[in-house]
DNA sequence: ATAATATATGAATGTTTGCTCAACTATTCA
DNA sequence: TGAATAGTTGAGCAAACATTCATATATTAT
């Protein structure tokens, strides 16, 4: 194998995106479908600012996608890899 | 779904274990087979102390297992979930 | 135009993290 | 026994991170 340093960093960045409970909960909501920032904030009992900051990180990693409609912004998962990693992790936590 | 806060934290902890380039490289070496701390340190060009600190975290998460032989300690992956998460992440980074 | 709503963003702050260094335990060798 | 080797551990420090607060931008309503 012999992983390059670059790929190690990229992999670490990918998993970093999933390494915080707030982001995990954001993703768990987005798995069910797209949601606005305020709906996420309400569902998570976090401030809209905090949610927006986290979404920015997820957006930069291309894990979520934003769709603007009027003054709302709807976020959804950009890619099913994320959902797969999520469910595989959940599996590990629940059983095994 | 409605993920509990506890499970969100556990999931985040699992992914945190994979969220650092040094740990990713440790895991990429352990995928090939068990290795002593000093062999890992040499392969990664890290101090044994730094490697040992990281291995402790991985051990506490039950991602690696330690086997002591004389004065050496050989580490290996505890569970193939880890290797699966790793290769799925690599897939995401390399293609798509 | 003004006000209200939805989101984004920068600075500030407290917490967490990864490493180094020094000290420690356990094991082998002489 | 004493010295050398392999690894672990705690303290300390700098860098990274998550949230809050205040402010800014964009859109809609009056």
Interval B2-48: pLDDT, tens:
788 899 999 999 999 999 999 999 999 999 999 999 999 999 999 99
Ramachandran angles phi, psi of B69, nearest 5°: -140, 105
Output the distance from B71 CA to C30 C1' rounded to whole Å.
17
d(CA B82, CA B92): 15
Which residue on chain B is closest to A13 by alpha carbon? B19
Domain ranges of chain A: 5-94
**The CATH number of the domain covering residues in B20-94:** 1.10.10.10
Helix axis angle, A80-94 to B80-94, nearest 10°: 170
Q: Which nucleotides of chain D does any protein CB come within 7 A of?
A: 5-11, 17-22, 26-28
Interval B68-84: pLDDT, tens:
999 999 999 998 889 99
In this complex, the residue of A11, A16, A28 whose CB is nearest that of residue B1 is A28
Domain boundaries A5-94, CATH class: mainly alpha
Give B46's Cβ-side CA count (13 Å radius). 18
d(CA A16, CA A30): 18
- Judge whether A42 and A76 are in contact, CB under 8 Å: no
Interval A43-95: pLDDT, tens:
999 999 999 999 999 999 999 999 999 999 999 999 888 999 999 999 988 88
């Amino acid at each position: 194998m012999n992983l390059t340093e670059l790929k190690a960093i990229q992999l670490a960045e990918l998993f970093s995106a999933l390494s915080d409970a707030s982001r995990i909960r954001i993703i768990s909501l987005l798995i069910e479908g797209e949601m606005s920032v305020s709906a996420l904030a309400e569902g998570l009992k976090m401030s809209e600012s905090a949610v927006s900051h986290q979404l920015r990180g997820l957006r930069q990693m291309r894990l979520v996608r934003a769709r603007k409609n009027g003054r709302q912004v709807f976020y959804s998962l950009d890619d099913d890899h994320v959902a797969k990693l999520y469910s595989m992790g959940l599996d590990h936590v629940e059983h095994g």
